[in-house]
Structure 1
Amino acid sequence: MGMGPMGVAMRTVLGALAMTMVVVASAAAGSDPVSSPPGTAPALIPMPAEFQPGQGTFTLDAGAGIAVPAGDAQARQAATLLAGMVSRVRGLTLDVRDGGGGAITLALDAAAPVAQVEGYALAVTPQGIRVTARDEAGLFYGVMSLAQLLTPEGEGRGPVTVPAQEIRDWPRFSWRGLMLDVARHFQPLDSVKALVDQMAAHKLNRLHLHLTDDQGWRLEIKHYPDLTKVGAWRTPPTVGGPDAPSPRYGGFYTQDQIRDLVVYAAARHVTIVPEIDMPGHGQAVMAAYPKIGITGARPPVAVDWGVNPYLFNVDEASFTFIQTVLDEVMALFPSTYIHIGGDEALKDEWKSSPRVQARMRALGLKDENALQTWFIERVGQYLAAHGRRMIGWDEILEGGIPPTATIMSWRGTKGAVDAARMNHDVILSPAPTLYLDSLQSRRNDEPSGRLAIVTLADIYAYDALPAELDAEQARHVLGGQGNLWTEYMMTPWHVTHAIYPRIDALAEGLWSPKDRRDWRGFLGRLPAQLARYRHLGVDAADSAFAVDFTVEGGPNAALAAGAATVALSNQAGFGAIRYTTDGSAPTPASARYEAPLRLTLPAILNAAVFSDAGQMLAAPRRYDLIAEALRTRQSGELAACPEGEMGLRIPLTPDATTRGPVFNVNLFDACWVYPKARLNGVTALTVRAARLPRNYGLAHDAVKVRSHPATTPNGELVVRMDGCDGPVAATVPLPSPAKAPVQFPLTTPLPVATGEHDLCLTYTASIHGPLYAIGSVSLQAEP
């Protein structure tokens, strides 16, 4: 951020310690922050650049003062936020004071020890705590670090004792971002503000709002009121049956709300970067103002996820519309950068339009990719003329890089590398690693999202500086950004679950020096942050710590033996696993898992994960070692058919307002495999079936959707033995969509068989109707 106002130069902090500053414990030094003696590394996320332990401690009592420079509104704002967090998490009341002294002193100082922009120095001595910085952002981030020091792990309340120490800290990258898609599923303003609060606490400084797309326009534009009157609302698809139809879905932010959000974020040193997507992803625009499109026809606001065909026109009327919209956008958002999208713009409409082709020839452009580059650059020049800079997704490189563009690279890192080598600034945001709508684990209890699993460790391991760049080219890497697309994130709960605690790993990767980062040390610091989330009402995902159950030899071996050897683990390999076998919930006093457990069927195993301080890191998970459960496979435990893959975990309804059942699907083939089904004594099979909207814009990939021939009006569920080319073992007609609910059981007898067999389950319903899915498959056996 920019340099803040400077007061009279103040004395530096702990000058004697400045000559003896050491870096924090790191792998390069051969030490492990997890096992280091207490006091040698602060429990901070992100890890600071430099740290020096001191002698003694300082205890902060209720009523202690936080002294801020008189008249410094931003310092007072930071102090107020600090007092609020300490009060909510620790129950400790602090008093913010203008001028004078206090147990905590905040000061802007032109001679502060850290010269880097956004940097700060934080010193704790037995006499008190002092935070100094040369700019307002640095002072704010020092306060955010102090807030963590004053709320350590544990459920303690009241006074807090902090070890003496000195921290000097500054960011590695200037762009530390998070993108929130509010176009696909609208997010209430209060939820966006709560995200800003946590971004600020993690020293992230760019909130990229994806405000427009085919499925909705979320920003009030005074000159074009139908953009929100029409374009902000859609009618969700239905699949028939007696279930109530979905109400109209949508929402938008008024300009007053945006002004309020921008001010709120700026006070926390977060810049709101708006995205107005063009020339593709424009169906909501055309629904409101069809003349801005190619055909002039008015489509509905899209209900299909994916890639839709509607493009902006390239005539002067279209640019008048765009420039007028951008005028209002720039008046609302002071951000230097304005994002214009540029991704997934199918060129079919441009190719088929005689007027567009004539325009292309008049401009001397060789193809539609070059036309997109011309289009994007014209918008970029308009922004530049108004003192702004343009960002576009890496597709805008395909026709030649627009001269004014900064590139946000999402299709891997190649776009960023190419652009940086051509002296353009870049931001790294590659899929799937930094796509937070990807699932965090393969567990059955994960909600909807993309089935590319992105774990906490995956994000922590990511480095936003491509190794292919030399030192000069690397100067063009502004930083990185995590993206949260909301096709399958319907509610604020889904957004929260997807972001936290992966935001912690993202923040450390973008702030901390690369050689200071350490995965095991990060895990050791994370329990304190998870405790803060609970106190602050942030329902963070526990996927990294949740207990996984592995039965030796698999469920079939347990069924055959009447007993099972069960191993317990978790994704992060961190924390103490405690378990019970009597049906009770595990506590820190429950038996600690040390080795695989031998259990006789039937049995119920409950397990949870705790930190060394006794804090629960993951809610209890249950594993039922009973015959019915061992013969059942949930949707996430079914395999893809040989010619496909499960790409998505989708909800029962696309615009649900509450959590509900989810289904793993392959959009191109309604086919699943129950692998190695043990059929000894099995007489029947029951599928928990579901009928979902087929609301997916597959564009040119639509031809890949596989159709299976049906023999009844509504299609069937066909079960084949020993693979998808094996003999038919059973066929069950599907009920009429007009009469059956969206979830229904399908039960069929199976022929007598023994041993293990792959069961292939295929729906033959028309590919032009609903999308049929499987929630679970259960085998019924003789008593």
Structure 2
Amino acid sequence: MNRLFSVILLIILAFPLMAQEISIIPKPAEMAVQNGQFKLDKNCTLKFDENNKDAARIAAFFNDYLDNLYGFKLSNNASENAVSLKIISSLDMGQEAYLLKVNKDGVVITASNPAGLFYGLQSLKQLLPVEAENGSLTIPCIDIKDKPRFAWRGNMLDVGRHYFPVSFIKKYIDILAMYKINTFHWHLTEDQGWRIEIKKYPLLTEISHWRDETLLGHFRSGQEKDGIGYGGFYTQDQCREIVRYAAERYITVVPEIEMPGHSSAALAAYPNLGCTGGPYKVQETWGVHKDVYCAGKDETFNFLKNVLDEVLDIFPSEFIHIGGDECPKDAWEQCDACQKRITDNGLENEHELQSWFITQIDHYLSSKGRRLIGWDEILEGGLAPEATVMSWRGTKGGIEAAKQKHDVVMSPNSHMYIDYYQSKNKDDEPLAIGGFLPVEKVYSYEPVPEELNADEVKHILGVQTNLWTEYVATTKKAEYMLLPRLQAQAEVGWTPKAEKDYADFSKRLENDYLRLTKLGINYRDHRKE
């Protein structure tokens, strides 16, 4: 009887911790749960340096979050129970590192940099219960010491195939920020639509943003179209607003302007930039199209440099993505100007011509103090001197680039392409491009290839998921395809390898779903797999 009583007592004592499990995503590097709880309510104080604009903004974010979800804000009423936000620049911490301590008297988040303070706040928000009880929020006492594993934790959204309004782009950025994603790769130009205003070339937003109709169903199953015109673009002011909005959430926006392939939309407006002079059209179907910029004409490079000048004025990011993928060489093979370019520069073939093309853009961006990044096809024919590679066709391109001492972002379609199906039974899922990528497979990815030595590993900047939108026409579906695979990628990019555990992550997701529902964010329940 005494033994049974002891077991029951242990269960009772453990219940408070069981009732509110720690569900932070991505999982912190170091975390220790302590005894006790702190109750947060409207009578608590929010302490921060009011002369520090970053701290003040982060504090406002927290109050807005409390108000939106729980109906109260914290004030500066000098209560002993407080949430304190501290930026101490003299501390020896990384730019994105933070300390979070919860005891019975309050919460303290400390960082040496505003980004770290912001990430500490994201963890605090995930420590809060989804529902308040009698107007208060019970937070378990805990010590967290946290920093990211990788510097580049990115996500790409394609708006070329389908356009999304500014309001959704902001919501999308908010979702990325929740999971400590720090890079928003914005794919702005495509065969099916040019989405950014370029003042020097007004036809890009008169002609190139608009296609006359769109393919119905999957591109492998037929060519029936909907007969409905489709378009949209972002003004330069709207782009600047997105850049500002993201920066306030410590996210860098990296724009992508595709070249030399995926250029049908631009050529529809400026056919002189193609090898044949056209006519060209904004494409209405998906896949790879043979309309590419002419590599033999100087006016092509004048156009692209002028476009990039305006892009650089809008986007202060270190990296500028130039695509470089899926560039058919058919037109170049038949083009006298391109063949002359090959001969004049002692190039061996059209693959080396593409490398020469990318190198011209690489030199131009370098002269402006920026860095070129492109998909792994830019390796073909020789890699431009300062180029960074985004490895998407598996990991081979990333390994090759790192061995050549070039920086790499790992983004293999096998694990990071979130336009793939989320179930083996495709009939249970909305239309997708193909493939099968469940949450567990995303989570299983290891960005550092075994083939690299210690010096080469330093060139692995991080990891990125990509949401291509051929079959993602609505904001609700975009969220469905994004979540929860984004959470899995976030943990791959942030959490130490030794701390990863899929069973534990899966359990934390269940609580995260409750929060997402309350925030009005759509997602796919991974338990359906």
Using the size of structure 1 for normalisation, the TM-score is 0.63
Partner Cα separation in structure 2 for residue 319 and residue 244 of structure 1: 34
Contact kept? 2:153, 2:463, Cα under 8 Å: yes
Show the counterpart of 1:107. 86
The residue matched to 2:102 in structure 1 has which SS? strand
Q: Which amino acid aligns with 1:105?
A: S
- Decide whether aligned partners of structure 1 residues 259 and 237 sit closer, same or farther in structure 2, where only a CA change above 3 A counts: closer
1:518 to 2:516 alignment: no
Of 42, 49, 62, the match for 1:82: 62
Of 220, 228, 241, the match for 1:260: 241
1:305 to 2:305 alignment: no
Q: What displacement does 1:98 show?
A: 11
Contact kept? 1:434, 1:459, Cα under 8 Å: yes
- Decide whether aligned partners of structure 1 residues 165 and 344 sit closer, same or farther in structure 2, where only a CA change above 3 A counts: same
**Superposed CA RMSD:** 2.1
1:284 to 2:265 alignment: yes
Contact kept? 1:343, 1:394, Cα under 8 Å: yes
The residue matched to 1:321 in structure 2 has which SS? helix
Show the counterpart of 1:49. 29
Of 61, 65, 68, the match for 2:41: 61
Show the counterpart of 2:219. none
Of 328, 337, 340, the match for 2:310: 328
Show the counterpart of 1:388. 370
1:271 to 2:249 alignment: no
Of 99, 113, 120, the match for 1:135: 113
Which one has a bigger Cα radius of gyration?
1
Contact kept? 1:442, 1:453, Cα under 8 Å: yes
Q: What displacement does 1:221 show?
A: 0.2
The residue matched to 1:436 in structure 2 has which SS? coil
The residue matched to 2:527 in structure 1 has which SS? coil
Q: Which amino acid aligns with 2:197?
A: E
For residues 106-125 of structure 1, the aligned pairs below 5 Å read 106-112=85-91, 115-125=93-103
For residues 755-774 of structure 1, the aligned pairs below 5 Å read none
For residues 352-371 of structure 1, the aligned pairs below 5 Å read 352-371=334-353
1:195 to 2:190 alignment: no
Contact kept? 1:92, 1:159, Cα under 8 Å: no
Q: What displacement does 1:94 show?
A: 2.1
Show the counterpart of 2:72. 93
Q: Which amino acid aligns with 1:74?
A: D
Partner Cα separation in structure 1 for residue 27 and residue 356 of structure 2: 43
Q: What displacement does 1:448 show?
A: 0.9
1:247 to 2:228 alignment: yes
Contact kept? 2:215, 2:284, Cα under 8 Å: no
Query: Which of 94-103 and 367-376 deviates more?
Result: 94-103
Q: Once the two structures are superposed, what CA deviation does each residue of 1:599-648 show, in whole Å capped at 9, x if it has no partner?
A: xxxxxxxxxxxxxxxxxxxxxxxxxxxxxxxxxxxxxxxxxxxxxxxxxx
Q: What displacement does 1:85 show?
A: 2.3
Q: Which amino acid aligns with 1:334?
A: P
Partner Cα separation in structure 1 for residue 504 and residue 260 of structure 2: 45
Unaligned runs of 5+ in 1: 1-34, 547-570, 572-783
Show the counterpart of 1:228. 205
Partner Cα separation in structure 2 for residue 164 and residue 237 of structure 1: 54
Q: What displacement does 1:62 show?
A: 2.2
The residue matched to 2:429 in structure 1 has which SS? coil
More helix per residue: 2
Partner Cα separation in structure 1 for residue 493 and residue 267 of structure 2: 38
Q: What displacement does 1:199 show?
A: 0.6
Q: Once the two structures are superposed, what CA deviation does each residue of 1:455-475 show, in whole Å capped at 9, x if it has no partner?
A: 011111111111211111110
Partner Cα separation in structure 2 for residue 100 and residue 522 of structure 1: 36
1:478 to 2:457 alignment: no
Q: Which amino acid aligns with 1:158?
A: G
Show the counterpart of 2:408. 426
For residues 345-744 of structure 1, the aligned pairs below 5 Å read 345-443=327-425, 444-542=427-525, 544-546=526-528, 571=529
Partner Cα separation in structure 1 for residue 511 and residue 226 of structure 2: 45
Q: Report 1 or 2 for greater relative contact order, CA contacts < 8 Å, sequence distance ≥ 6.
A: 2
Q: What displacement does 1:95 show?
A: 2.2
More strand per residue: 1
The residue matched to 2:145 in structure 1 has which SS? strand
Q: What displacement does 1:102 show?
A: 6.0
Unaligned runs of 5+ in 2: 1-14, 217-223
Q: Once the two structures are superposed, what CA deviation does each residue of 1:428-469 show, in whole Å capped at 9, x if it has no partner?
A: 010132100001013423101023110011111111111211
The residue matched to 1:384 in structure 2 has which SS? helix
Q: Once the two structures are superposed, what CA deviation does each residue of 1:306-359 show, in whole Å capped at 9, x if it has no partner?
A: 100011112211111000000000000010000000000000000011121011
Partner Cα separation in structure 2 for residue 468 and residue 157 of structure 1: 56
Q: Which amino acid aligns with 1:307?
A: V
Contact kept? 1:214, 1:281, Cα under 8 Å: yes
Partner Cα separation in structure 2 for residue 445 and residue 121 of structure 1: 43
Contact kept? 1:69, 1:98, Cα under 8 Å: no
Contact kept? 1:283, 1:308, Cα under 8 Å: yes
- Decide whether aligned partners of structure 1 residues 250 and 40 sit closer, same or farther in structure 2, where only a CA change above 3 A counts: closer
The residue matched to 2:184 in structure 1 has which SS? strand
Partner Cα separation in structure 1 for residue 225 and residue 381 of structure 2: 47
The residue matched to 2:416 in structure 1 has which SS? coil
Partner Cα separation in structure 1 for residue 56 and residue 337 of structure 2: 59
Contact kept? 1:437, 1:449, Cα under 8 Å: yes
The residue matched to 2:154 in structure 1 has which SS? strand
- Decide whether aligned partners of structure 1 residues 350 and 364 sit closer, same or farther in structure 2, where only a CA change above 3 A counts: same
Contact kept? 2:44, 2:79, Cα under 8 Å: no
Q: What displacement does 1:58 show?
A: 0.9
Q: Which amino acid aligns with 2:448?
A: L
- Decide whether aligned partners of structure 1 residues 207 and 96 sit closer, same or farther in structure 2, where only a CA change above 3 A counts: farther
- Decide whether aligned partners of structure 1 residues 395 and 157 sit closer, same or farther in structure 2, where only a CA change above 3 A counts: farther
Contact kept? 1:154, 1:531, Cα under 8 Å: no
The residue matched to 2:245 in structure 1 has which SS? helix
> Identity of paired residues, percent?
42
The residue matched to 2:122 in structure 1 has which SS? helix
Q: What displacement does 1:87 show?
A: 3.0
- Decide whether aligned partners of structure 1 residues 197 and 97 sit closer, same or farther in structure 2, where only a CA change above 3 A counts: farther
- Decide whether aligned partners of structure 1 residues 238 and 303 sit closer, same or farther in structure 2, where only a CA change above 3 A counts: closer
Show the counterpart of 2:194. 217
Query: Which of 337-346 and 47-56 deviates more?
Result: 47-56
The residue matched to 1:303 in structure 2 has which SS? coil
Q: What displacement does 1:155 show?
A: 7.4
Contact kept? 2:215, 2:286, Cα under 8 Å: no
Partner Cα separation in structure 2 for residue 283 and residue 78 of structure 1: 43
Contact kept? 1:459, 1:506, Cα under 8 Å: yes
Q: Once the two structures are superposed, what CA deviation does each residue of 1:635-686 show, in whole Å capped at 9, x if it has no partner?
A: xxxxxxxxxxxxxxxxxxxxxxxxxxxxxxxxxxxxxxxxxxxxxxxxxxxx
Q: Once the two structures are superposed, what CA deviation does each residue of 1:704-746 show, in whole Å capped at 9, x if it has no partner?
A: xxxxxxxxxxxxxxxxxxxxxxxxxxxxxxxxxxxxxxxxxxx
Partner Cα separation in structure 2 for residue 262 and residue 513 of structure 1: 30
Contact kept? 2:96, 2:148, Cα under 8 Å: yes
Contact kept? 2:258, 2:324, Cα under 8 Å: yes
Using the size of structure 2 for normalisation, the TM-score is 0.92
The residue matched to 1:449 in structure 2 has which SS? coil
Q: What displacement does 1:71 show?
A: 1.6
Contact kept? 1:339, 1:390, Cα under 8 Å: yes
Partner Cα separation in structure 1 for residue 187 and residue 121 of structure 2: 30
Q: Once the two structures are superposed, what CA deviation does each residue of 1:7-59 show, in whole Å capped at 9, x if it has no partner?
A: xxxxxxxxxxxxxxxxxxxxxxxxxxxx9964997320000001122232211
